[in-house]
Amino acid sequence: MAVEIKEIVIRAIISDASQTDKGSPTLDTGKEQCDIVQECVHQVLKILKKKTLR
């Protein structure tokens, strides 16, 4: 039985490093955030490409 996803909701909270406490782990630079976003986009595009090949 195939599963069909009609809608996908992606939520992200990105906070400025100056707003967080010094003791809490945060991303060092915006580059790491950019890398995460790029990987997410890559994964979504890969899923969409698979869908069109069916």
Residue spans of the domains in the chain: they are: 28-54
- Condensed to tens digits (0 to 9), the pLDDT of residues 3-53 reads 777 888 888 887 776 655 555 455 456 778 888 888 888 999 998 888 887
3-state SS, one letter per residue, for 7-41: CCCCCCCCCCHHHCCCCCCCCCCHHHHHHHHHHHH
pTM: 0.45
